[in-house]
Amino acid sequence: MDFQHPWLLLLLILIPLIFVWHRYFGQRWEAVIRISSTTFISGQLRKIGTQKSRILLASHLLIISLVILGLARPRLVDNLQETNVNVIDMMMVLDISSSMLADDFSPNRLEAVKRTASAFIDGRKEDRIGILVFAGESFIQCPLTIDKGILKSLVQQINVASKEHDGTAIGMAIANATNRLRNSEVNSRVMILLSDGSNNAGEIDPKTAADLASQYGIRIYTIGAGTNQSYTRIPGRGLIRNEIDEATLIHIAEKTGGKYFRAIDEKALATIYGEIDLLERSEIKIREFTQYKELYGWFLIPGFLLGLCMETFRRSVFRSKT
């Protein structure tokens, strides 16, 4: 609450001044009847007279206070904000083939991806995010949701594919993620595809799948995960060859208006997710409105009614003629 004319509140200083003046000097200006002694006036009558005088004084001071407060124009101030958020629908498409157990990331590629993906999800408060995992086949781990707690919990439950489903079906993964995004009503639809291998399974070629995603206006950011060494090691299985098909991942990104990144360690992977986070930052438009509710009537109207009542009482009950 504020006052449109706050300087008028200084007049409230008059209230104690009027009270002091009336207490010590005001009675000299009142109409009185001088008598030689108060012996013939009962104490009850004197008490009633004193009470009437105090009631009149208190009423006058209250009326003056209400009028001053009303003239100062008190009002309630309510700031309203209208926010428009450009929400993004996003599918995180993660490779879970057996090569993701390679220990060139600590403790392995998959665990590093899960940590960085969870940190990325934390920063996307308004967006709907889904998780799709793939190896020789693709599986929906979590549909599009704004519940980041459930999403992160499901990310932690991701494991490498079983032996019968092993492989790298990048084309099928893109096609299935596109199917999840194509009916979205939001303007921005994004896919983040992470893989450490080359397409060797599935019925759809990655480039064909990228063309399909492009037709639906879906932008794909691709990440190749793995060191630059020719070979890396899977604990308990020995050495495996690094087979990241960078040419295909670059083509997918360029075809859909996205960007390709290469992550050679977890720090680089975290940096990549941070860059994508900046590239796909939602626009928030805020318009602020100030609404005022005038309150002066709550003071002036009671002050007027109280003044009217007191004038009526003064002339009738108190029988004042002035």
What backbone torsions phi and psi does residue 2 show, to the nearest 5 degrees? -140, 180
**Would you say 252 and 210 are in contact if contact means Cβ atoms under 8 Å apart?**
yes
The 10s digit of each residue's pLDDT in 122-141 is 988 888 999 999 999 999 99
* Spans of the chain below 70 pLDDT: 25-50, 80-85, 282-289, 314, 317-322
Among candidate residues 133, 24, 9, the one with its CA nearest the CA of residue 71: 9
User: What DSSP state is assigned to residue 88?
Assistant: E
The 10s digit of each residue's pLDDT in 230-246 is 889 998 888 988 889 99
> What's the pLDDT score for residue 120?
94
Output the CA angle 316-320-322, nearest 5 degrees: 130
The type of residue at 183 is: N
**Torsional sign, CA 171, 172, 174, 175:** positive
CA dist 145 and 87 (Å) reads 12
The three-state secondary structure class of 124 is coil
The 10s digit of each residue's pLDDT in 43-59 is 665 666 667 777 777 88
Residue with token string 């009558």: 45
CA dist 305 and 52 (Å) reads 19
Among candidate residues 159, 237, 173, the one with its CA nearest the CA of residue 202: 173
Ordered by where they begin, the domains of the chain are 2-78+293-315 (no CATH), 87-282 (3.40.50.410)
Chain mean pLDDT for the chain: 85
